[in-house]
Amino acid sequence: MAALLSVEDLKTYFYTKRGVVRAVDGVSFTVDEGETLGVVGESGCGKSITALSILRLVPQPAGKIVGGRIIFDGEDLLTKSEGEMRDIRGSKISMVLQDPLTSLNPVFSIGDQVAQPFRHHHQDDHLPLREKILDVLRRVRIPTPEVMVRSYPHQFSGGMRQRIVTAMALACRPRLIIADEPTTALDVTIQAQILKLLKETQRELGLAFILITHDLGIVARVCDRVAVMYAGKVVESARVEDIYERPMHPYTKALLNSVPQLGARKKRLNAIEGQPPSLTDLGPGCRFAPRCPERFDKCQTDMPVPISTGDGEYAACWLLDK
């Protein structure tokens, strides 16, 4: 059966005075119905730009999708008009943005903002608009929604604001939700509540998720597969259990080694030495090579190709070929 979403060799560049920033440079992955794909990597590796590219929301005029295909439900989103994309956003693919405080309008009530997806997509289910709003707020566990619909974003805690933007994403029951670091700046208890809410909603509605995060602990709890990104490329893709038990790429290993271990008696945390490369000045070889403790001569001169490590899994590293 074909995947719900198939991203094929996606390239999104930003044209600046300092040069061309290759933010997403040949990214490929798939998401099946009801599946959760985790996209992980350091800040600046291209996770969020990949998500914005799927929805055709790359900042203009500097940003442009210059290559690849984005096949959703059998259709290439890159061939759609802007009007067609407006109909897809919210109804078929929704996004939970990283900072709920800035993604909510401070001058409109919560009820007005949750109502926007319903008003735009005009779903014909004969339910009054107010009932639709209250129903989706109850789904994300907003207490006394009849009262809260008249409140404004600043009157809610960070966790409640995150539930509200999640309600907006769920409003029209899309088939795919992209969650861009939905637990950033939340304390551990609230993080657990938000993750539990997302998984319960996924089971109830059969949704597919793309979860963008830098927290490998979250990935282990909620994801089925993982795509590890570095400097605009996916360097490893595998099932979540294989990533943790048998990581293949040195960057994946370094990320896992940098996670604090409960009860481990270490004086210092492991860190990945060096800095990610400038995306305007990329050399011919592996982009992780300057920071890789296992590099050899070929890593400096040739870009590694994806090498299969199992059923639909791969890592882009010359060590596997060697």
Above 70 in pLDDT, residue 266? no
Max mean pLDDT range (17-26, 89-98, 157-166): 17-26
Q: Which domains does the chain have, with CATH numbers?
A: 5-92+174-260+271-321 (3.40.50.300)
CA distance 61 to 63: 6
Q: Which residue has the higher pLDDT, 203 or 37?
A: 37
- Residue 296: band (very low, low, confident or very high) from pLDDT cuts 50, 70, 90: very high
- pLDDT, tens digit, 9 for 90 and up, residues 270-290: 888 889 999 998 889 999 999
Burial of 185 (0-12, 13-18, 19+ CB in 10 A): middle
Q: How confident is the model at residue 267 (pLDDT cuts 50, 70, 90)?
A: low
pLDDT at 122: 67
126 — pLDDT class (breaks 50, 70, 90): confident
* Tens-place pLDDT, residues 240-253: 999 999 999 999 99
Residues 248-261: what's their mean pLDDT? 89
- Give pLDDT tens digits for 43-95: 999 999 999 999 999 998 999 999 999 999 999 999 999 999 999 999 999 99
DSSP of 135-186: HHHHHTT-SSHHHHTT--GGGS-HHHHHHHHHHHHHTT--SEEEEESTTTT-
Two tokens, residue 151: 């409140």
pLDDT value of position 74: 93
CB of 149 within 8 A of CB of 176? Answer: no
Instruction: Strand 5-16: give its sheet, edge to edge.
Output: 19-31, 5-16, 63-72, 75-76
CB 141 within 8 A of CB 197: yes
Helix (H/G/I), strand (E/B), else coil: 238: strand
Nearest to 142 by CA among 104, 194, 90: 194
Q: What angle do CA 3, 8, 14 make, to 5 degrees?
A: 135
User: Alpha-carbon distance 230 to 232, whole Å?
Assistant: 6
The two three-digit tokens of residue 10, written as one number: 């996606």
* Count of positions (residues) in the chain: 322
Closest by Cα among 207, 290, 202, 294 to 249 = 294
Residue 218: both structure tokens together: 């979250």
pLDDT confidence band for 216 (50 / 70 / 90) = confident
**pLDDT for 104:** 92
Q: Which helix (H) or strand (E) holds 308?
A: strand 307-310
Distance, CA of 167 to CA of 172 (rounded, Å): 9
Query: What confidence score (pLDDT) does residue 309 get?
Result: 84
